[in-house]
Amino acid sequence: MLKAPKMKLIHLTDTHLVRAGELLYGLDPKARLDACIADINRNHGDADLAVITGDLTHFGDREAFQALRQSLDALTVPVQLIVGNHDTNDGFREFFPDVPVDETGAVQSARDTGAGRLIFLDTTKTGTHAGWYDEVRLDWLEARIAESGDAPIFLFMHHPPLLLGVPAMDRIGLMQRDLFNARMTPYLPRIRHVFFGHVHRPVSGSWRGVPFSTLRAMSHQVWLDFSEETEGVPGSHEPPAYAIVLIEPEQVVIHFHDFLDDSRKFNLRDVEYGFWDEQERRLSAAE
């Protein structure tokens, strides 16, 4: 029998909601989010938490936040929201007044779980799409880590704390990368994973030995382009995805699910295809 994970999370990002019924880059962000929520409810209603890592809306207007509230009301899994550079605090606070903020009003909080302490960061600053995490916010983060004893730490943020090699997005990444790196150095052995959004790409790897992951957005995507000469941000209509995160003491496993994929599904032992029977025949002949 499969052992139940210590914690099961859903990670999705960059919903970019606009007013209900409006399109963004030729897509309907709310319809995509609603389809995602239906898929989560149907297949992963046992998840402990869903985390959306920012850019909840595209223009930050109250109608978009209202549409987001309506969609999320259908989600049967508890949800934690993080703001991104496209969001506004006023609109967010109107429709999500129960989401915790720190003493400065930044949308930051921590949650203790059986898997460890989850810390949700606010990397936004009014007037820029780049990430911002200054000394004051770093003081807050260090305090949340320090008060957690020796619990494992999982960080959730909108902007990545490292360069990803995609110039269009690196130019609007976290501005205080070096400072963030320096202040987090003492805690690296306790940080088990960093989850972020912003880049609209499926990317994983390690940051100073700490695993990280991000994934495609709910709405439009950023096309994979390593050119320094590319102006603006190259977009695409690649399909959206959400991630299922299975956390155990000895491992973190992340599955990326293209929930709108409509390609044919079949059993690999299906006699219509005959692949399994042919393999068995060849193995028997080889003996």
Instruction: Give which of 67, 62, 8, 59 is closest to 32, Cα–Cα.
Output: 67
Whether residue 2 is contained in a domain is answered as no
Per DSSP, the three-state class of 140 is helix
What domain range includes position 267? 7-286
What's the chain's average pLDDT?
94
Q: Read off the pLDDT of each residue in 249-274 and give the average, rounded to a whole number.
A: 86
pLDDT tens-digit readout, 132-144: 999 999 999 999 9
Whether residue 214 is contained in a domain is answered as yes
Whether residue 1 is contained in a domain is answered as no
Split at pLDDT 50, 70, 90, the class of 165 is very high
Please, are residues 96 and 71 in contact by the beta-carbon 8 Å criterion? no
pLDDT tens-digit readout, 39-93: 999 999 999 999 999 999 999 999 999 999 999 999 999 999 999 999 999 999 9
pLDDT tens-digit readout, 90-131: 999 999 999 999 999 999 999 999 999 999 999 999 999 999
Q: What is the H or E stretch that residue 274 is in?
A: none
Split at pLDDT 50, 70, 90, the class of 280 is low
pLDDT of residue 212: 98
Q: Read off the pLDDT of each residue in 26-35 and give the average, rounded to a whole number.
A: 97
CA distance 131 to 158: 8
pLDDT of residue 277: 63
* Those residues with Cβ within 8 angstroms of residue 45's Cβ, 6 or more apart along the chain or in another chain: 76, 77
Whether residue 257 is contained in a domain is answered as yes
Please, are residues 25 and 220 in contact by the beta-carbon 8 Å criterion? yes
Split at pLDDT 50, 70, 90, the class of 19 is very high
Number of domains in the chain: 1
Does 193 have pLDDT greater than 60?
yes
Whether residue 119 is contained in a domain is answered as yes
CATH code for the domain in which residue 154 is found:
3.60.21.10
Query: What's this model's pTM, rounded to 2 decimal places?
Result: 0.93
Whether residue 192 is contained in a domain is answered as yes
